[in-house]
Amino acid sequence: MKGRFYFLLFIVFCSKTQLTLAQPSSAKQLFRIGLFAPLYLDSAFDKNSTYRFPPKSFPKYSTPGLELVEGAFLALDTLNKLKAPIELIVIDTRATSQPLRTQLNNASSQNLDLIITHCSTSELQTIAAFGYEKNIPVVNVNLPNDAGVTNNPFLVLLNSTLRTQSIAINNYVQTKFPKQPVVVFRKKGKLEDMIRSYWDETAKSNKSTQKWTYVDLPDSFSVDQLIPKLDTLRQTVCIAGSLDEAFGKRLALHLATLSKQRYKSTIVGMPTWDAIRDFSKPEYRGVDISFCTPYYNNRTDSVSQQIQRFFINNLYARPSDVAFRGYEAVWRFSRLLMRYGNGISSQLAAKEFDLFREIQIQPVFSPDKQLQYFENKKLYFLKWQDGILKLLP
Is 164 or 20 the better-scoring residue by pLDDT? 164
Q: What is the pTM of this model?
A: 0.90
Higher pLDDT among residues 43 and 150, named by residue: 150
Instruction: Say if residues 73 and 80 touch (Cβ distance below 8 Å).
Output: no
pLDDT given at position 95: 83
pLDDT value at 2 more than 60: no
Predicted pLDDT of residue 273? 96
Q: Is the pLDDT of residue 4 over 60?
A: no
Distances (CA, A) of 287 to 43, 222, 314: 45, 18, 40
> Which residues sit opposite 19 in a β-bridge?
90
Q: What is residue 11's predicted lDDT score, i.e. its pLDDT? A: 42
Query: Among 357, 322, 334, which Cα is nearest to 77's?
Result: 334
Break the chain into its structural domains and give their ranges.
4-160+298-359, 162-293+381-391
4-160+298-359 against 162-293+381-391: fold identical: yes
Which residue stretches of the chain are H helix? 4-14, 41-44, 63-81, 100-108, 121-134, 162-176, 190-206, 245-259, 302-310, 321-340
**Alpha carbon distance 177, 152 (integer Å):** 38
Quote the percentage of the chain above a pLDDT of 70. Answer: 89
Q: Dihedrals φ, ψ of 216, to 5°? A: -85, 135
Report how far residue 136's alpha carbon sits from residue 143's, in angstroms, rounded to the nearest whole number.
Answer: 19
Choose the CATH number for 4-160+298-359 among 3.40.50.2300, 3.40.190.10, 3.30.110.30, 3.40.1260.10: 3.40.50.2300
What is the Cα–Cα distance from 257 to 287, expressed in whole angstroms?
9
**Mean pLDDT calculated for residue range 92-105:** 88
Q: Is 79 helix (H, G, I), strand (E, B) or coil?
A: helix
Cα pseudo-dihedral 307, 309, 311, 312, rounded to 10: 160
Task: Tell me the HSE value of 304 on the side-chain side, using a 13 A CA sphere.
Answer: 14
Residue 23 has pLDDT above 50, yes or no: no
Q: Are the C-beta atoms of residues 305 and 313 closer than 8 Å to each other?
A: no
Length of the chain: 393
Domain 162-293+381-391: CATH superfamily, name plus number: Response regulator (3.40.50.2300)
Q: Per-residue pLDDT tens for 224-270?
A: 999 999 999 999 999 999 999 999 999 999 999 999 999 999 999 99
